Amino acid sequence: MILNKYFLSVFFTACFTLNSFTQENKALVEPDSSEVLNEVLITATRTKRQLSALPLPAQIINKETIQQSGAMRLGDILAEQTGLITVPDFGGGEGIQMQGLDSQYILILVDGVPLVGRSAGTLDLNRISVGNIQQIEIVKGASSSLYGSDALGGVVNIITETPKQDWHGTLNYRTGTLNTHDLSLNTTYRNDKLKLSLFGNRYSSSGYDLTPQNALQTVEPFSNYTAQVKLAYSFSTATTASLSTRYYSQNQDYKASESLQGESNIEEWNAHFKLNHQFNSAWSSSLELYATQYQTDEYLNDIADAALTSNGFYDQRLLRPELRVRYQPNKQEAFIAGTGYNHETLSRTDFSESPTFNSAYVYLQYDATYFEKLNVIAGGRLDTHNVYATQFSPKVALRYPISNSIAIKTSVGRGFKAPAFRQLYFDFTNATVGYTVLGYQAVPTALAAMQERGEIANILIPVSSFDDELKPESSINLNLGVDYSFSKRLTFSLNVFRNSLTNLIDTRIIATKTNGQSVFSYTNINESYTQGLEFNFTANAIKNLNISGGYQLLYAKDKQAEAAFEAGQIYARSAANSPAFALQKSDYFGLYNRSRHSANLKLFYNIPQYRMNANLRATYRSKYGLSDTNGNGYLDRYDRFVSGYGILDFALTKNLGKHLQVGVGVDNLLDFTDAQNITNVPGRLLFGKLNYQF
């Protein structure tokens, strides 16, 4: 309560102070952060910066690339970028892995504000249509200095279209294998004062089944809808206001048999209001109000086996006001400061309570150029919270051009990840197998109740161990890179990175049950790291042919595991009945679901005389392990691995007249599948598409 009163007083005092600066002037309004300029991004610094001059590892995917690829959903595009791995969840959805960090550490934004509704830490990228995306901005490495929790590993910001002419519209349609249909309509209007964007999308599929022996398909038939409205109005040359609303819904039916049926429904909405004001040539501000809700309702009924019958619900809400101020006294220096408040609630099945998170934050960033060449960005953010301890996240980045062709850059920053709702309040027992998972806060009450019912055989971890709070995970991120440009025909970049993570939240067995199963909970134990390098290049040596690609080398390991292997404390067997032998440090592979090597290659060829363009895109991921198969608790060379694989995609488009473009393509040309381990790749997909502009 004291925190809330303090925050509100600071917030309104800041508003009052800023208003006192207001004066009549004809200064240009600072453009809205969603207004995109060529090769300019706003995610890395929350101000507009040229990508080529940024001292941070960042990337832009433009609208043209998205259209030429024929992609339908966000995951299709991100999977083709260097160092980004799409990881399937249990329901056919996809999360993103960046610099070896799981999707729970990657913040996903739409027009600068976050999406909610993560399942076990994964935010499904298939929820996002690409039909109205202007560009995608990717910032790699700890970004908590601006964005707080969930940005420990990086940020992906989807910038949707804003009007650029009086009236414009685009109709997109794609159909293909698996009875897939994707239809979207995007219209924009603009005059001197008003900007209006309307977007609608319908996406449906019959799903697919990689495991016919199972009762349910890998992905059941579904249909979903997305609608977005963006409105901006200029009251004067100094003041603008904008309102954006987005709605998403999905229905999915499960009809395996007459006795096994179910249904899943998802609804999501968000509303984002923003007021921009330019006080004078040096001072400007933005006031934002953001609200969102994500909810699901699902059931599965099995008449033949009651143990398989289940139902569940999920309802997460976030409310956030934020005030941001920018001060630029001259062309060489700029300050940005902000303060905000998060009010977040979650109600869901198998929770011990319906928790509420309240957190206030303030951040400051300084961006300056010294000696006409050295760019310095320094800043930090302070987050306070009603559940976990206060967090401070600083960051410093430098860029220095050695010549017109070569520039070096480096950054170091701290990121943090607050404990998730499930890690604090989960109270779940598997009805079929019989194990139990308890959130950290739920342990004392739930374990006592289980003891009273006679379900506990032995308590391995004293309940008193859960008196302290579960600490947020944190990381120190270091990047060191070089950019090289040889005219416009050849460019490449090399970035070496390391993430040193502490207080990682992991599961552990806290008790055994009388049925022989275990009780699991969460604790801060591991220290680990991910490190490696990324290489990207673009070549335009041949007329009309653009070649680009990238490679990532990754090492992701647990420090305690490394020490145990080095001390000869870890054993394995070559066969179930063979004698055990000690493993060496070199036998330790690392963290689960991480590939040592990944790469991509893209060829885009333009044929102007036929008004056509074609592209061939390839991605590769080397082997990785998903579980310990020899019983020592670690991933070593004697475990079973998922074999490395490659995906090859092809697309061809042709312009017919001024307004119509048609195309055909093949995703996963080589028809790769792995039914057991890679559930988000259904096999070869043929498609046709059309794009009509009016």
* Contact criterion met (CB below 8 Å) for 75 and 86: yes
Q: Within a 10 A sphere around the Cβ of 500, how many other Cβ atoms?
A: 16
- pLDDT exceeds cutoff 80 at 32: no
* Contact criterion met (CB below 8 Å) for 237 and 26: yes
Residue range 88-147, pLDDT digits in tens: 865 556 889 999 999 999 999 999 999 999 887 888 899 999 999 999 999 999 999 999
Contacts of 444 (CB under 8 A, 6+ apart): 463, 466
- pLDDT exceeds cutoff 50 at 653: yes
What pLDDT sits at residue 8? 41
Residue range 105-118, pLDDT digits in tens: 999 999 999 999 98
* Contact criterion met (CB below 8 Å) for 94 and 680: yes
- pLDDT exceeds cutoff 80 at 248: yes
* Contact criterion met (CB below 8 Å) for 470 and 424: yes
What pLDDT sits at residue 305? 67
State the pTM of this model: 0.90
Q: Residue type at 45?
A: T
- Higher per-residue confidence, 305 vs 556: 556
What is the distance between the alpha carbons of residues 325 and 14, in angstroms, rounded to a whole number?
10
pLDDT band at 308 (very low <50, low <70, confident <90, very high): low
Residue range 577-634, pLDDT digits in tens: 888 899 999 999 999 999 999 999 999 999 999 999 999 999 999 999 988 888 888 9
**For residues 29-47, average pLDDT:** 63
Q: Which of 120-124, 311-315, 419-423, 459-463 has the lowest mean pLDDT?
A: 120-124
Which residue is associated with the tokens 């004809």?
Answer: 26
pLDDT band at 281 (very low <50, low <70, confident <90, very high): very high
What pLDDT sits at residue 503? 94
- pLDDT exceeds cutoff 90 at 230: yes
Please, what is the average pLDDT of the chain? 90
Residue range 286-298, pLDDT digits in tens: 999 999 999 999 9
What is the distance between the alpha carbons of residues 169 and 403, in angstroms, rounded to a whole number?
44
What pLDDT sits at residue 27? 29
Residue range 361-371, pLDDT digits in tens: 999 999 999 99
